[in-house]
Amino acid sequence: MKRENFGSKLGAILAAAGSAVGLGNIWRFPIETGRNGGAAFILVYIACIILLGMPIMMSEFLIGRHTQSNTARAYQKLAPGTPWKWVGRLGVFTGFFILSYYAVVAGWTIEYAVLAVSNQFQGMTTKAEFEQVFTNFSSDPLWPIVWLIVFILLTHFIIVRGVARGIERWSKVLMPMLFIIIAVLVVCSVSMPGASSGVQFLLQPDFSKVNSHVVLSAMGQAFYSLSLGMGCLCTYASYFDRKTNLSKTTLQVCVIDTMIALMAGFIIFPAAAAANYGLTPQDIGPSLIFITLPNVFQQAFGSIPVLAYVFSVMFYLLLIVAALTSTISMHEVVTSYMAEEFHLKRNRSALIETCLSIFLGIFCALSFGCLSDVKLFDMTIFDIFDWTASNICLPVGGMFIAIFTGWYLDKQLFRDEVTNGGTVHAPYFKALIFVLRYITPLAILAIILGNFGLF
């Protein structure tokens, strides 16, 4: 069976960026930044992107493009008869895990789009009002589940339409739109009266707050936001053509992703400061953007209600799209794995993944309502999924990917992929190998062990 390819270079970049940019940037990044002390966390995060994220992204790209197969098969092709295929399998498992709870939050964005379209936020001014809306909705036993199912089904239908027609076409139009609207919101938020303490929080690092948990969270966030460590970008790269410049694509995706995350921070914290939210640690959780953002729209454009309306509708619609281009990429990892490894039809394989994710997702959705007392180590079901997947599974996957490319992979093959058969200049090649061999795996290991007090 001939595999599909992305139709153009831009399509490939945007699809990879579409996978990376999502709720991780707009929803999760501000939460992690708020919980971990602001500016200092951001600096550690950026260091993780450069030292861990970029080399691993290159590795995933080259493994995927060279082998042109799903993530588990990729390792079997490059290292036949060895246990390396388990790295791919761990990725498939992690993808399934993340999709299940990610779709819960993605479902919330649909509810908020509906609220925005029906103009429900108009006239609301206090934090308590926005909080009430969120709590009522998220603890409801029905609607979060309905939206979760709708979201996974949307993903499902795009997945079964295939790579070029589905994933690529969507990403090309919607990603630039998202960028523009976020930029406008940053300007609005930063210029609100009283926003400056929020800006300071993001710009004045206080390194005394950096401890092993902060570093682990920054690393987890870097992997999560870049969609790394679970073979997602490896699977996408299997649809790249031979001319795609892997290092340039890596740089572009990392820059776009980081910029959008930072911009989200510059929307949320200044707005929260302006509205006098005095964010206490209890406020900084999954509800953060759903309470501060509707408020940004009301405060920034409240005197011109049409603008408040148009901006909030557009924002939530684009957030749905950003989440969708990410859920598609998680779903694709599992779907292509099951289809190619178990010789299933693509439709069938997608359907199995859809049903399994809905099933697990229901428990995550209910953990904000009737299952909120079910806790382990003080974490709800939702938190456990999120913490384990991003802080443990993704970095461990990434560590093995770095070891694989740094130590195991044939260096000539590596060089050929990075330089596109000698046509692209890559003076950093030796440095890249060095980082992948020593720095990346050791840093990941130290950060994980450090978090458990074992280091």
Q: Binding residues for ligand PHE, per CB under 6 A?
A: 19-20, 22-25, 98, 224-225, 227, 230, 232, 326, 329-330
Q: What does the angle CA 236 – CA 241 – CA 243 come to, to the nearest 5 degrees?
A: 125
Minimum CB separation of residue 382 from ligand PHE in Å reads 15
By beta-carbon proximity to ligand PHE, the closer residue of 24 and 441 is 24
Least distance (Å) from ligand PHE to the CB of residue 226?
Answer: 6
Q: Which is nearer to ligand PHE, 171 or 299 (CB)?
A: 171
Residue showing tokens 């009430």:
132
CB 58, min distance to ligand PHE, A:
17
Cβ proximity to ligand PHE, 20 vs 133, nearer residue: 20
- Least Å distance, CB 249 to ligand PHE, is 16
Nearer to ligand PHE, 60 or 417 (CB): 60
Shortest distance, CB of residue 22 to ligand PHE, whole angstroms? 2
320: left (phi over 0), alpha (psi -120 to 50) or beta: alpha
Q: Tokens 């909080």 label which residue?
A: 131
CB of 411 to ligand PHE, least distance (A): 28
**With respect to ligand PHE, which residue has the nearer C-beta, 66 or 331?**
331
Q: What is the largest CA-CA distance in the chain?
A: 67
Q: Minimum distance from CB of 196 to ligand PHE (Å)?
A: 28
For residues 19 and 67, which CB has a smaller minimum distance to ligand PHE in the complex? 19
State the minimum distance, in angstroms, from the CB of residue 95 to ligand PHE: 6
Nearer to ligand PHE, 23 or 320 (CB): 23
Residue nearest to ligand PHE (CB): 24
Identity of the residue, 300 or 318, whose beta carbon is nearer to ligand PHE in the bound complex: 318
